[in-house]
Structures are given as C-alpha cells and as structure tokens.
C-alpha cells in the first residue's frame, strides 16, 4: 500500500511546478522567486516575533507592545530602524574581518533554507529532489557564524558562548537528522513537496483513514521539536546566550545592525524550523487530514488548486508555523535554563537512542506493511 502511494507521490513530484514558473523565460520566474523568498524572509519572522511579544506578555501578566502601530504590531519594525541607527562598534582587540562576517554567515543559510520550504500547493521557489537533505545541511552552516562571532569578539564571555553553541549544535544535529530521516524513509522521498504529498495519501494500513506523519511518528516529532529548540538556542536550551551567566554569549560585543542580524537569524530560524515541522509532521498546507482544500479538486488530484486554494494553503502553512512558534514561546516562558552538561547528556543518552529506535520501528513498519 505504502509502496503504491509513495510511488504515486514521486511520480507527482516529477511534475511539481511552482506557481512562479510563469511562461518560458528564465529571468522573470527567477526574479519572482527571489522577491517571494525575500518577502517571506522579512515579513514572516516579524509576524513570529510579534506573536512572541504578545504571547509572552499575556503569559506574564502584562500587555506586550502597544504603542508602535496598531496593537504594537510594528514594534519589531521600530526596533529594526533603531538598530540601523546605532553605532557599529568593533572592539579593538577583535579580529575585524571575521567579526564583521559572522552575522552574515549565520543569517544567510537560514535564508537559503527558505528556498525549498513549500508553503502552499505550488507555492515554493524550488523543489529539490534532495530538499530535506539540503535544508538540514545548509542550516548547520549557521553554527559556523556563531562560532566565528564568539571567537573573533576577543571577549571571554563570547568565547564561552560560542564554544557552548558549537558543542550544543553538533550534539543536536544528530537527533534532528535521525528524526527527519525516519520521515524521509516513510515518505520514500527527500523532496519536501513530495513529503507533503505522501502525507496526503498515507493511509493507516488496512483502513482508508488518512493521517499526517505526526501520528505514526509522534516520538520522532517530539525528538525533532526538542532538537530544533536546542538547534535554535531557544530557552530552555539557550546556554550559548545565557544572559544571566554569559551576559549575552556570542552576541555580547555586537551592536547595531550586526546584532539585529543575529536576532533576525533567531527569529527566521524559528520560522524555518516551524516550516520544516509543518511540512514533515503536520501535513504541510492541508487543513485537515484526508480533506482537500476548497478549490483543490481539479483534474490533477487534490493538489491541483485554483488561486483560492493556493491562498488558503499558504494561510494554513503560516498558521502551522505560528503554532510551532507559539510552542517555542510557551517553553521559553515556563522553563528555567538547563546546564550545558545536562543538555549534552540529554542529547547523547536520551534523544539519539530514541531517534535510532524511532528510525528502526519505522523501517520495520515500512517493510512489513
């Protein structure tokens, strides 16, 4: 059964065409895609940041931003303008080139991952056959930027923060990849579009009930979620920043626009991880399992959508991303910070074995059914 569905999914992937592939030209679709990615990159993290401000405010018995724009929604824009105006300080003892490059090295990979994340039926910039592999590989380059920043700052707090970040990100890359591998295995494809489509056609063996991968891979979802949180250095795994211990970790010496770039890395990273989780486990742009979106009942199957269906699909994906961001924020508000050694112990002794178990179970299930 699964062989059949995954075969049909791969067949569909071969034909998957982005809405941006208009006409036969090369330049126009490319420009459209770049504009789309940049818009995603600047707007969606601000949405996520605004959500964080407001949710944290509510949970902490305060109001969050209220002054800038309607309901304080432009607070992050105002913050961005403020950061641009700030003096850009490079410490005398710092290595100026590495110091200046670090925020860029951290930020750009996040932007590149956005290329392959499908956020609606046909709404994606690129459908790589190795999409998942690409996303995970590229996103780990960010670590390099953080390590560079920590090392080049010539500040002991930064150095400690940078080294903590490196250790933490290496430790959590493994469970993240193992959990994602189980999804790729079940879907039979590494293409992110293909994974969404495989979820739409995945049926519980012996029945005709359609389910997202969240349910067969609940364990994998938990591992991926925790590892993503550690990957992003979000509390309770924010030891690289640890403001009460290391002042601000690897960001201590950064000011102005460079600091803003590190902050944007964090917010955009949340969005990217939210997008990956939505695609891998939550059925991508589907509103409910097994139910096609309105306007998506065309001849090409349930993903042959009109523009209404595409818009709705984008909204659904964004909603799922925001749900994940909400969970990140909830964890931040609730928990104290773990210690670095406790974190490593959790990665190597708990998450990695569990992720291997998950992978083994999925493999066996795939062969048996």
333 binds another protein per the rule CB under 8 A: yes
Draw the binding track, 151-190, toward another protein (x: CB under 8 A; -: no contact).
---xxxx--x------------------------------
Q: Is residue 235 within the footprint of another protein (CB under 8 A)?
A: yes
Q: How far apart are the first and last CA of the chain?
A: 7
Applying CB under 8 A, which of residues 15, 17, 24, 61 lies at the interface with another protein? 61
Does residue 337 bind another protein (CB under 8 A)?
A: yes
| Near another protein by CB under 8 A: residue from 92, 206, 207, 367 | 92
Identify which of 362, 355, 361, 363 has the alpha carbon closest to the alpha carbon of residue 223: 355
Burial of 316 (0-12, 13-18, 19+ CB in 10 A): buried
Helix (H, G, I), strand (E, B) or coil at 335: coil
Token readout for 144 is 């390099």
39/93 with CB nearer another protein? 93
Please report whether residue 243 would count as binding another protein according to CB under 8 A.
yes
Q: Which is nearer to another protein, 308 or 342 (CB)?
A: 342
Distant-in-sequence, close-in-space partners of 89: CB < 8 Å, separation ≥ 6? 253, 255, 256
Closest to another protein by CB, 32 vs 56, is 56
Stretch that binds another protein, among 21-29, 34-42, 209-217, 243-251 (CB under 8 A): 243-251
Q: Using the rule CB under 8 A, which residue among 339, 348, 353, 369 binds another protein?
A: 339
Binding part of the chain for another protein, among 5-13, 104-112, 232-240, 280-288 by CB under 8 A, reads 232-240
Q: Which residues have a Cβ under 8 Å from the Cβ of 16 and sit 6 or more positions away?
A: 122, 127, 191, 193, 194
Cβ proximity of 108 and 41 under 8 Å = no
DSSP string of 108-175, one letter each residue? HHHHHHHTT---BTTB-S---TTHHHHHHHHHTTHHHHHHHHHHHT--HHHHHHHHHHHHHHHHHHHH
Say whether residue 245 binds another protein (CB under 8 A). Answer: yes
Residue 335 lies near another protein (rule: CB under 8 A): yes
Which positions lie near another protein, rule CB under 8 A? 56, 59-62, 92-93, 154-157, 160, 235-236, 238-239, 242-247, 332-342
């Amino acid at each position: 059964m699964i062989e059949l569905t995954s075969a049909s999914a791969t067949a569909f992937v071969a034909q998957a065409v982005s809405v941006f592939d208009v006409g036969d030209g090369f330049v126009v679709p490319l420009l459209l895609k770049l504009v789309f990615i940049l818009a995603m990159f600047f707007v969606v993290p601000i949405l996520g940041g605004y959500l964080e401000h407001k949710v944290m405010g509510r949970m902490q018995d305060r109001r969050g931003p209220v002054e800038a724009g309607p309901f304080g929604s432009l607070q992050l824009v105002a913050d961005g303008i403020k950061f641009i105006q700030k003096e850009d300080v490079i410490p005398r003892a710092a290595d100026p080139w590495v110091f200046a490059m670090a925020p860029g090295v951290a930020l750009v990979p996040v932007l590149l991952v956005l290329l392959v994340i499908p956020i609606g039926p046909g709404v994606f910039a690129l459908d790589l056959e190795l999409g998942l592999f690409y996303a995970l590989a590229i996103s780990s380059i960010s670590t390099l930027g953080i390590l560079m920043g920590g090392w080049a700052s010539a500040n002991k707090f930064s150095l400690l923060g940078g080294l903590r970040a490196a250790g933490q990100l290496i430790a959590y890359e493994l469970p993240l990849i193992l959990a994602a591998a189980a999804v790729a295995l079940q879907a039979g494809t590494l293409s992110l579009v293909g994974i969404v489509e495989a979820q739409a056609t995945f049926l519980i063996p012996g029945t005709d009930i359609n389910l997202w991968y969240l349910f067969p891979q609940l364990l994998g979802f938990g591992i991926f979620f925790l590892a993503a949180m550690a990957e992003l250095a979000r509390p309770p795994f924010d030891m690289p920043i640890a403001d009460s211990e290391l002042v601000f970790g690897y960001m201590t010496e950064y000011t102005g626009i460079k600091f803003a770039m590190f902050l944007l890395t964090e917010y955009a990273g949340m969005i990217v991880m939210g997008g990956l989780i939505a695609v891998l486990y939550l059925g991508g742009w589907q509103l409910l399992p097994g139910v096609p979106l309105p306007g998506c009942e065309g001849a090409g199957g349930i993903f042959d959508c009109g523009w209404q269906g595409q818009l709705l699909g984008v909204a659904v994906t964004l909603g799922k991303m925001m749900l994940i961001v909400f969970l990140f924020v909830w964890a931040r508000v609730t928990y104290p910070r773990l210690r670095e050694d406790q974190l490593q112990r959790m990665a190597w002794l708990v998450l990695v074995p569990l992720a291997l178990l998950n992978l083994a179970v999925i493999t066996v299930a795939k062969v048996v059914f």
